[in-house]
A = this chain, B = another copy of it.
Amino acid sequence: MSSLQDVAAFVGVSAATVSRALNDKPGVSTETRQRILEAARELRYWPNSTARSLTTSRTRTVLFVTHRHKFPPSEDPFYPQIMRGLEETLARDDYNVMLVTLTDEQLTAGPEALPVLQDGRADGLVLAGPDIPPGFVLRAAASGLSVMLVDNALRETQIPAVVADNEGGCRAATDHLIEAHGHRVIGLLRGAEGWATSEERTTGYCSAIRAAGLTPRVVSVSETTIESGFEAANQALDAYPEMTAAVAVNDAMAIGAMRAAGSRNLRVPADLAVVGFDNISWAKFAEPPLTTVNVPTLEMGRLAARLIVDRIEGEFTVASRTILTSDLVVRASCGCEKAAGAPD
């Protein structure tokens, strides 16, 4: 590999001049600049990023940090998709993404204990997912690195975040069951308390329910998997026999709920309408196809990329919390018609 020195020697100028020419800095005559560019091409010169980082103390690297179990999240490319959006957009600005998945222990030990966050390898962190402890986020932000949250938010802080409109999306889904299908007894199947997204979705459900003069019926279980959806639906059906519809806080739970209905010989949507949240990849292949709320994962990643680059490069950013709209995707599990046959 040839170095800056090689190019300088080749052209017969100093290294400083080559550096200036290659970095589009002023102070080089058009002619020598030309000769330098040609020489660089000829010698197949590429600036060594390590050396550059050492002097500039910028790595043009962003860490995509998630809880290890989230990547891939049990069964769906939710976070991978965010990462892809991130990578795609960062690449345009010549930034790179590094994947960092953290165990529970590492998450509780905190950012100080992680070499990769301390050794100057990265300029910024994108912390993805509601299961990154607030303490971790705060201490990471205090460490001098630029920090962004995605699919998570810390109220009462200035840490910028990109989130889906969980509340609005869940309200829309619940409204749809009430208004388009006339349901009056609608359960909410949710996971553990404490995660921002779950709380927000619950709020959306409750607000739609209350606005229609109905009673909220919430069942909480400890996780948000297919299995726990199965369990939560059974609990709900036992507790509220007159229930005709269920809103699940995510698609995995919704799938579980549909399985639970099936195991009780209830037809979906005739006997029990079900809607989910996330619009994961296989929601459309569920039987019946799942009505759900879309979360624009790719967009979240893209936006996070722009925002973190702005922060790293010291640009002024106003918004500290960006909410992306989450639209209802109507399929068949809510009771709407849906042509079978060809894929959509």
Contacts and interface: CB of A to CB of B under 8 A. Distances in A.
Contacts of A287: 285, 287
A240 interface: no
Contacts of A80: 71-72, 77, 80, 83
A81 B81 CA distance: 12
Interface string A63-97: 01000100110011100110110011001001011
Interface string A116-158: 1011110000000000000000000000100000000000000
A115 B1 CA distance: 13
Interface residues of A, number: 59
A27 interface: no
Contact of A96 (B121, B263, B342): B121
B88 A81 contact: no
A285 to B, nearest CB: 6
A226 interface: yes
A261 B340 CA distance: 12
B96 A50 contact: no
Contact of A88 (B59, B68, B83): B68
A87 B118 CA distance: 18
A98 B97 contact: yes
Given A72-B84, A97-B98, A97-B99, 17 more contacts: A1-B118, A48-B119, A49-B121, A50-B50, A50-B120, A61-B98, A71-B80, A72-B77, A75-B77, A76-B281, A80-B80, A96-B100, A96-B116, A230-B342, A263-B341, A263-B342, A281-B282
